[in-house]
Amino acid sequence: MTGKAKKNKLLPGLDPQYVTLDLTYRCPRACSFCFMAKSSSAPRSGREMTRRELGRLADSLAGKPRKFYISGGEPLLRPDLPWLVKRLKADGHYCRVITSLACAPKTALKLIDAGLDELTVSVHGTPKLHDAAVGAPGAFAGIAAAVAAINARRAGKPARLVFWCTVTRANHAVLHSVYKALSALGPDAIAFHHLDFITAKDLAATSAIFRGELGCAAGLKVSQGLARGVSARRLHAQILRIKAEKDPKVRFDQELSLKEMENWYDPKAALAKKGFCMSPWNGIWVDPAGDIISCQPLGHKLGSALKGNCLEAFNGPEYARFRKTLARHGGFLPTCSRCGRTAYMSGSRDTSRQPHN
């Protein structure tokens, strides 16, 4: 911990447990279902925080141990990523990096040496399916080679290796085969994630809320076409086959019944999401330029993480306004209905006892 960080005192008010840091929105892959490309209006290029700015951000969050989720885009495109992980670990934080392993495999090894707690690798099919999904022949083989080196390097170290697989039109009917292919590579865990997409009806409703209550446009696009061709019944059958393996390494984000799955993948179905998104209360999300955003899916800017102490913006008027809007609408906005990011920082909550600050 730096001398400056030692002097940092926690500000009164909300204090985030989770920090999601999008280092860059650049990415060498072209995933056919990418939320950033298909559902978000956020630019894929632009200004990115310097190492000095990242250090200042770390200083402002050094008051207590937190969980840092470092993502993108592809964070391995940042050559200073190992430095950042080492810096965060020195301050006592948990650190997870989410990557496609599409570049700089040696950097991934440096992350293990820097004390990384978890490396989450995006891999979305058997070799043929994954290569087609990301638009890069040989991509799966590249992941397999990198993972072999990573597994050797992390022997005796605490770093966990997790595979993140998004359910898509291409893989949903053969998901058990995907599970077998991923399991053979030796991860500590495999997380299957239901497809995120935005329906026209949900976007219209969310846009009205943004205009009427937040005074700005919603930076989202309709992407319901991504769900076309996904058979909930075939997917459900595949999930049951995977569960029959009784593999403790496997989890599903989210756990859905057949009926819930049919509604999820039917853009015409209205979903009433359970629980209450706690992200704006217990987590802070920072984009590559250093702006604090509500979350990557919504991308609503709520202040700067680089002006003074970022906790001031976290407890500032723009953030409070957004929290009140979210609470007023039951803890989720309409476009949140098919967001499965419970593994990040959302939680179920009794909405009769929802926070209002």
Supply the CATH number for residue 322's domain: 3.20.20.70
Question: Going by DSSP bridges, is the β-strand pair 67-71/94-99 parallel, antiparallel, or unpaired?
Answer: parallel
Residue 65 is assigned to a structural domain of this protein = yes
| Structure tokens that stand for 82 in this block | 């190992």
Residue 63 is assigned to a structural domain of this protein = yes
Residue 355 is assigned to a structural domain of this protein = no
Residue 6 is assigned to a structural domain of this protein = no
Per-residue pLDDT reduced to its tens digit, 206-222: 999 999 999 999 989 99
Per-residue pLDDT reduced to its tens digit, 26-40: 999 999 999 888 888
Which pTM was predicted? 0.91
Residue 11 is assigned to a structural domain of this protein = no
Q: Tell me the H-state helices in the chain.
A: 3-7, 35-38, 51-60, 81-90, 105-113, 127-134, 139-153, 175-183, 200-209, 232-244, 258-264, 279-282, 310-314, 317-328
Per-residue pLDDT reduced to its tens digit, 313-350: 999 999 999 999 999 999 999 999 999 876 444 343 33
Q: What are phi and psi of 42, to 5 degrees?
A: -65, 140
What are the CA-CA distances from residue 255 to residues 2, 54, 191, 260, 340 (Å)? 42, 36, 11, 9, 10
| Structure tokens that stand for 224 in this block | 């319901």
Number of domains in the chain: 1
Q: Which domain holds residue 91?
A: 18-27+36-344
What are the CA-CA distances from residue 301 to residues 13, 125, 285, 319 (Å)? 20, 34, 10, 9
Residue 108 is assigned to a structural domain of this protein = yes
Residue 10 is assigned to a structural domain of this protein = no
Q: Cα separation of 315 and 296, whole Å?
A: 19
Per-residue pLDDT reduced to its tens digit, 47-96: 999 999 999 999 999 989 999 999 999 999 999 999 999 999 999 999 99
Q: Cα separation of 137 and 134, whole Å?
A: 9
Residue 13 is assigned to a structural domain of this protein = no
Q: At what angle do helices 81-90 and 51-60 cross, to 10 degrees?
A: 20
